[in-house]
């Protein structure tokens, strides 16, 4: 999505917890990658992996990521599976990925690696309902998050797993991984297989300097290298920015917007899942 030079990579009572208080709003057993013996912890040091430029993920080892599609099967954005306290799956993506206000106009393909290759363990999810954040703005991309209720619940297995929902704030310098099937360069071709990139999360003060007047710390976060070169890109919108905490993978950010892809001094911007946690809780629980 393009708007005023911005490239985007791709209702409800709000109550707040005490600052920095850990509140768990999802099911136990989240954040697992069963096909990796160490749950993929080693990838947090794989700093050369990237989407722009292209390093392939180990096939089928991100069981919470899904391709968010039109009902005709055209890839629009990324998305992430989560579970509520009762163990019911929901799908999280970016609000800016939504152009039709009917849940039936979309579907998700999960448990996949290759965009066009056979994925024998993949499934198609259809939706009964969707909720966009009531304060989402398609001008500023504030509160860029949407949640879909599934028509039917999939079985949890090695290929279908929920990410944990961030229950503590990020910190500047914390490592993170973003994954998706987006373009390999600005305006380039879409990835044929799932790619991933390691990116350090930047302090809010740095994000505000890089995007003066546009970065809103109450619901946004940013991540990237000062020299650029690693980033999400078009078609990655709505997908996950994962952090690895206490042996689990957490959905900490939702790919939202940025200027160009992997440009120096222009970190990617994400919806801040921790700061949006109370709204998420109100929708899924």
Chain-centroid distance, C-alpha 261: 16
* 188-201 per-position pLDDT tens digit: 567 789 999 889 99
* pLDDT above 80 for 273: yes
Do 143 and 276 form a contact (C-beta atoms < 8 A)?
yes
Q: Specify the pLDDT at position 18.
A: 40
Radius of gyration for the alpha carbons in the chain, expressed in angstroms and rounded: 17
pLDDT, tens digit, 9 for 90 and up, residues 106-127:
999 999 999 887 889 999 999 9
What's the pLDDT score for residue 3? 36
Catalytic residue among 204, 237, 256, 272: 237
* Residue in 144, 204, 236, 272 annotated catalytic: 144
CA–CA gap between residue 123 and residue 129 (Å, rounded): 19
Q: Please tell me what DSSP assigns to residue 12.
A: -
Confidence of residue 22 (pLDDT cuts 50, 70, 90): confident
pLDDT above 90: percentage of residues in the chain: 72
Please tell me the predicted confidence (pLDDT) of residue 45. Answer: 79
The pLDDT tens digits for 124-143 are 999 999 999 999 999 999 99
- State the catalytic residue, choosing from 79, 96, 204, 236: 96
Q: Hey, what CATH class is 65-161 in?
A: mainly beta
What is the per-residue pLDDT for 20? Answer: 53
| pLDDT at 231 exceeding the cut of 80 | no
Q: Is 96 a catalytic residue?
A: yes
Tens digit of each residue's pLDDT (9 = 90 or more) over 163-176? 999 999 999 999 99
Residues 240 and 97: their CA atoms lie apart, in Å, by: 14
| H-helix or E-strand spanning residue 197 | strand 195-200
Mean pLDDT of the chain: 87
Task: Specify the pTM.
Answer: 0.90
Cα distance between the two ends of the chain: 31
* Among 151, 271, 132, 278, residue whose Cα is nearest residue 215: 271
Tell how strand 164-165 and strand 248-257 pair up: parallel
Active site residue 237: yes
The pLDDT of residue 48 is above 80: no
Q: Which helix (H) or strand (E) holds 2?
A: strand 2-3
């Amino acid at each position: 999505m393009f708007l005023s030079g911005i490239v985007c990579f791709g209702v409800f009572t709000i109550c707040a917890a005490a600052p920095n208080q850990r509140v768990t709003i999802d099911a136990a057993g989240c954040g697992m990658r069963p096909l990796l013996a160490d749950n993929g912890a080693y990838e947090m040091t794989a700093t050369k992996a990237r989407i722009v430029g292209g390093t392939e993920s180990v096939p089928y080892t991100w069981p919470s990521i899904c391709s968010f599609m039109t009902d005709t099967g055209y890839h629009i954005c990324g998305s992430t599976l989560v579970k509520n306290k009762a163990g019911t799956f929901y799908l999280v993506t970016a609000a800016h990925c939504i152009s039709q206000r009917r849940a039936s106009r979309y579907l998700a393909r999960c448990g996949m690696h290759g965009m066009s290759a056979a994925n024998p363990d993949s499934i198609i999810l259809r939706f009964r309902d969707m909720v966009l954040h009531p304060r989402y703005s398609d001008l500023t991309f504030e509160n860029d998050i949407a949640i879909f209720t599934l028509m039917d619940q999939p079985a949890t297995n090695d290929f279908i797993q929920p990410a944990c929902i961030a229950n503590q704030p990020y910190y500047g310098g914390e490592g993170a991984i973003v994954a998706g099937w987006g373009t390999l360069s600005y305006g380039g071709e879409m990835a044929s297989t799932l790619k991933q990139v390691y990116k350090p999360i930047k302090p809010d003060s740095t994000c505000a300097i890089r995007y003066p007047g546009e970065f809103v710390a109450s619901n946004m976060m940013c991540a990237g290298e000062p020299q650029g070169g690693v980033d999400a890109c078009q078609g990655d919108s709505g997908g996950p920015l994962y952090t690895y905490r206490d042996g689990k993978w957490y959905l900490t950010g939702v790919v939202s917007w940025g200027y160009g892809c992997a440009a120096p001094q222009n970190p990617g911007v994400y919806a801040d899942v921790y700061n949006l946690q109370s709204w998420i809780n109100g929708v899924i629980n």
